[in-house]
Structure 1
Amino acid sequence: MLSKNKIKLIRSLETKKGREKAGLFVAEGPKVVNDLLHEGFVAETILDDLDDIKKVSFLQHPQPILGVFRMSKEDEKHSNEYSSIFSKHIEGQLVLALDGVQDPGNLGTIIRIADWFGIEDIFCSQETADCWNPKVVQATMGSIARVRLHYLNLNELIDHLPADYPIYATLLDGNNIYEQELSHHGIIVMGNEGNGITTQLRARINRKLLIPNYPPERATAESLNVAIATSIVCAEFRRR
């Protein structure tokens, strides 16, 4: 039986402040919990009694298992030095950068997309939703266990990269993605749901892409959902 203090602690993990204070996050459902355990995340608490789970679950329909995990894998060390970040997580790889993606569902879906296409690292601006938000964790369907997220200043990160390192983004003034040469490494930048990529970061993009609508002359939606656009772009990069 859960104590009142344990219930209070787990419920506090719904907020970013509570998660940062405790260094913990919640995952619900067999798939997500098992993936986290398999990838080396440390569980502080595992609940499998449905009556207990109902007291602390953040889901409308609670799952048969709930885990409280430490935010980072026990053996994982992070460095804020940009040269170290480049050599360990960017050089020779295809990675994503998210500039203010705020909807938890979108972020979770993008993490799942990255996992599907073998992208292991996502770099996020400080304005991007917290990846340990319960809604994000659930939307990843376990992919949060295999994709590393780094929160930092994207402008500074790009400024520390080698000259002319490929920085891609989908923009309305970009070139048709299906007609452009795409490298097997580089950073793909995706912007905020409503405002797109910030002016400062846009100035650092050196490979502008466009996902064309069809047919070109037809009146259509103003834009694509950021997660859908991410999926299209990643699929085209991996197809080459």
Structure 2
Amino acid sequence: MLSKNRIKYINSLKIKKYRQLHQSFIVEGAKSVLELLNSDFNIEFLLVTPEFQQKYASILSTHNTITETVTVQELEGLGSFQTNDSCLAVAKTKQIEFLSPDNSEYVLVLDDVRDPGNLGSIIRIADWYGIKKIICSHDTTDVYNPKVIAASKGSFTRVDVFYTDLTSYLTENASDKPIIGAFLGGKSLYDFSFAQSGGYIVMGNESNGIGQAVERFVTDKITIPRVGEAESLNVGIATAVMLDNLRRQINVPA
């Protein structure tokens, strides 16, 4: 049976200030936990149902991780999933100091993306298209928010996310690379040629787009042409369209 202290600790990690205090976060569900086990994240402990423990006994045996067997009812009282019949992990956050593009690499930049589901989806999309680095404004939602982790479906283990003041970062690091921003009134994405030398792709806030402070650094304003009558695209979907067109022209660096 789970102790009250452990339950209290896990519940506290749903709140950003306690995630920062303990430098820990929650991972829920079989797929994400299995991805976590296969990563270089430091895992504090695992809570697993007997079924999960039996099914993945060989994987669990290769990890020197504190593992506690719990009931489905106990798991469902924790975390953010409405249903969780397999496992929950608590892992240590990573302290990423700095990110910049390497050679012909493209890096994703997020300016004030607030919705956790959107950020999680963007991380998953970035992983699919071979983007390894995401640079976020300080106002972008916390990557270790349980909803972000859940929506990323394990991709958070392969994509580095760095938070910084975007204006300072772009001033100091982006003078020699194209900075491509998504705007409603920009040049058609389908007529745009991505530079082979790499660069930055900037996506903005769900309601207001890219802010003026970041806009002044954008060298190429791009739009996804609208054919129908929808007012706008979800930022996650727009990111997927941008990266898909990028990969039609630029292969993932070896």
TM over 0.5: yes
Pairing 1:79–2:102 present:
no
Aligned amino acid, residue 128 of structure 2: W
Per-residue deviation at 1:142? 0.5
Verify: 1:235 aligned to 2:244, yes or no: yes
Q: Deviations over 1:161-219 (max 9, x none)?
A: 253411001112211111111124111000000111111111110011111012xxx6x
* 1:137 is aligned to 2:149: yes
Partner of 2:188: 176
Q: Output the CA distance in 1 between the equivalents of 2:73 and 2:184.
A: 51
Separation of aligned partners in 2, 1:149 and 1:161? 17
The correspondence for 2:134, drawn from 119, 122, 134, is 122
SS of corresponding position for 1:208: strand
User: CA–CA distance in 1 between the matches of 2:174 and 2:78?
Assistant: 47
After superposition, where does 1:1-240 map in structure 2 within 5 Å? 1-48=1-48, 49=70, 50-72=72-94, 78-80=96-98, 85-86=99-100, 89-184=101-196, 185-214=198-227, 220-240=229-249
Q: Matched residues in 2 for 1:121 and 1:231: separation?
A: 15
CA distance in 2, matches of 1:96, 1:148: 11
Matched residues in 2 for 1:177 and 1:237: separation? Answer: 9
Q: What is the CA distance between 1:51 and its match in structure 2?
A: 3.6
Matched pairs, number: 226
The aligned residue for residue 56 of structure 2 is: none
CA displacement at 1:52 relative to structure 2: 3.1
Deviations 1:86-138 (A, max 9, x none): 3xx45431110000100011000000000000000000001101010000100
Give the structure 1 partner of residue 57 of structure 2: none
Q: Which runs of 5+ in 1 are unaligned?
A: none
Distance 2:187 2:31 in 1: 40
Deviates more, 1:190-199 or 1:159-168: 159-168
**Which moves more between the two structures, 122-131 or 46-55?**
46-55
Compute the TM-score of the two structures, normalised by the length of structure 2. 0.85
User: After alignment, is 181-190 or 7-16 more displaced?
Assistant: 181-190
Instruction: Indicate conservation of the 8 Å contact 1:90/1:186, yes or no.
Output: no
| Matched letter for residue 5 of structure 1 | N
CA separation in 2, counterparts of 1:18 and 1:41?
Answer: 19
